[in-house]
Structure 1
Amino acid sequence: MPDSSRSPIRLWDATTTAPAEPAPGEPAAPPSRPLIMIWPGWGMGARYYDPIATELAGRGSPVAIGELRGQGGSTAVPSRTHRWGYHHMASEDYPLSIRAAKRELGLPVDYPTILLCHSMGGQIGFLFLSRPEAAELGVIGLMGVGSGTPCYRGFTGWARWRLFIGSYLMRAVAVGVGYQPNGPLDVAGYGRQSGDHVIEWTHYVHNNDLSVLRHSDRDYVAAQREVRIPVLLTRCSNDDDCPLESARNLAQALPNAAVEVEEIAEPLGHNRWAREPDVVATRCAQFEGECLRDAT
């Protein structure tokens, strides 16, 4: 990464049902299905998504799992001086990881790619879709699971107040300490996080937009109006961290894209779908067909 940190990528080619270690290199025959690039949620390491990656690979898709900066196997450690936010991950981590995955899997740079994003991964993914790198890398669709905005108005009851009040506490810690530390000050349970990322997230909670991002090189709000590819936002029926209104709020960021918001009936919560992957893998395969039809 540009900050000299390293972020590992977990890889499955279309013939394996276990992560390739070492990387599989050029496959014996080109795969016939798009690359599925999985992006984790906040505070989640890439390894958590191995079951869904294995399921998708078993169905014939090459799969890669990226790592959000500072999480899982990433070597980045946030501090008062080492900071990053939404823009840095959308403009650096996402394109660099996709390029590296394709290189190791022997796929062309513009090989058709679908992003499968969880929670925070989808928020960053929506920014990435508005960047030129998304088209250069052949991104033809994004499926979110439990991806919505954290805007408190999209929640009800205690969850709304928890976001409203908790975000002020998180911002105060991030400003005062310079980052979100582990331990008693980690009120959200996401672990150590970059101060800039937390501050931008708290703005999202109260304003439902990401119009102010550190070091941003573009007007993301305007750029997102140009996105046209298919997007599917799903949430499981008992996902308290992403009610339907939260997903609908995220969908509004791409007003001219073909965005669908739907509920998955199975009670797989906010995270469990990644460990019990059949339902989401089946819906992802259906969405893949929709993306391919749209791309032709």
Structure 2
Amino acid sequence: MKSIEPTTTSHVPMPDGSTTPVQIWAAADPQATLVMVWPGFGMGGYYYRPLASLLLKAGFNVAIGELRGQGQSTAKATKKNQWGYHDLAAIDFPLQIAAAKQALGLKADHPMRFLAHSMGGQISCLFAGRPEAKTYNLQSIFGVGSGSPFFKAFGPKERRRLGAGAVLLGGVGGHVLGFWPGKIFGKDIVGYGRQSGTHMKEWQHFNRKNSLENLTGQDLNYVQEMKKVSIPLTLCRSANDEECPEASIDALASFLPTAPLCKLIVPGELGHNRWAREPAATVELFKQA
């Protein structure tokens, strides 16, 4: 579908001196709920413009964030410039939410929902355990293709692919180089671009143990705080999404045992990513959640 240009874009300063653009669409009703869209691993925010356009037509205020170092973010992962899950949940998400609400003239506690893809859903669950989730009035999480990378949740083919990724991204990138360079001899053999070493080490541990314990720099116990989350959690997937089987969804949902859980199938064979470019079915599910 044809995308609608954003009303404005806020360029949010980050602690490392980089900037993260937040694309913002203002609804006809200024008091409409804000939907924050969070990209998946290796995905840029521009990819989700068709989704944002349809959410806008459905009456929502919409903002698309970026994961640091991805899309139009100017951050560059190096051995000296690293970030992890905690930084994304505790710094990047709050700063981008604040920028979106300010640009729309909304109060900090204006109602907000998350629509998150893949890795964005993992970080959303961490954010939900933080005090900022209440400050910014997060009312629900709707994840698409969002699950845990825990190897036991996958079939043999995907388990091998994840295992190779854990060795390259977490082992070589995280433990040896301090960052994953993305392209090697001109080719991105993994397909996720340049990534922070700290984040990749934590992702590797997540893959092997289904654990988010002891995240680098954490200022609270995320695992314990996520157990207290009580907002609705909807996790959906396309039937042909091999990168997010139902067992992967269950493994992620296990971190939020008191959150009301709804699991859904997105109609159509839209895989892990294409649903964001053909978002009609997903937006219908989101409106009903």
TM-based fold match above 0.5? yes
Q: Quote the Cα distance in structure 1 between the aligned partners of 2:30 and 2:218.
A: 37
Aligned position for 2:201: 199
1:188 CA drift (Å): 2.4
Q: Quote the Cα distance in structure 2 between the aligned partners of 1:11 and 1:264.
A: 25
Q: Which amino acid aligns with 1:230?
A: P
Aligned position for 1:23: none
Aligned position for 1:267: 269
1:187 CA drift (Å): 4.2
1:189 CA drift (Å): 1.1
Aligned position for 2:77: 78
Q: Quote the Cα distance in structure 1 between the aligned partners of 2:71 and 2:164.
A: 28
Q: How many residues align?
A: 273
Report the 3-state secondary structure (helix = DSSP H, G, I; strand = E; otherwise coil) of the residue aligned with 1:11: strand
Aligned position for 2:11: none
Report the 3-state secondary structure (helix = DSSP H, G, I; strand = E; otherwise coil) of the residue aligned with 1:36: strand
Q: Quote the Cα distance in structure 2 between the aligned partners of 1:204 and 1:76.
A: 24
The Cα offsets for residues 2-41 of structure 1, whole Å up to 9 and x where unpaired, read as 22211000011113xxxxxxxxxxxxx533x311000000
How many percent identity over aligned positions?
46
Aligned position for 1:56: 55
Q: Which amino acid aligns with 1:192?
A: R
* Equivalent residue runs for 1:1-20 within 5 Å: 1-15=14-28
Report the 3-state secondary structure (helix = DSSP H, G, I; strand = E; otherwise coil) of the residue aligned with 2:90: helix
Report the 3-state secondary structure (helix = DSSP H, G, I; strand = E; otherwise coil) of the residue aligned with 2:21: coil
In structure 1, runs of 5+ residues without a counterpart are: 16-28, 288-296
2:236/2:264 contact within 8 Å kept: yes
The Cα offsets for residues 205-254 of structure 1, whole Å up to 9 and x where unpaired, read as 00001112110111111011110000100001111110111011100000
Aligned position for 1:172: 171
1:163 CA drift (Å): 1.4
Aligned position for 1:220: 222
Report the 3-state secondary structure (helix = DSSP H, G, I; strand = E; otherwise coil) of the residue aligned with 2:288: helix
Aligned position for 1:98: 97
1:186 CA drift (Å): 5.0
1:172 CA drift (Å): 2.3
TM-score, normalised on structure 1? 0.90
Aligned position for 2:4: none
* Equivalent residue runs for 1:1-296 within 5 Å: 1-15=14-28, 30-31=30-31, 33-174=32-173, 175-184=175-184, 186-287=188-289
Q: Quote the Cα distance in structure 1 between the aligned partners of 2:218 and 2:242.
A: 31
1:274 CA drift (Å): 0.5
The Cα offsets for residues 104-153 of structure 1, whole Å up to 9 and x where unpaired, read as 01111100000000000000000000000011101000000000000110
Q: Quote the Cα distance in structure 2 between the aligned partners of 1:71 and 1:187.
A: 17
Report the 3-state secondary structure (helix = DSSP H, G, I; strand = E; otherwise coil) of the residue aligned with 2:20: coil
Higher relative strand content = 2
Q: Quote the Cα distance in structure 1 between the aligned partners of 2:267 and 2:108.
A: 36
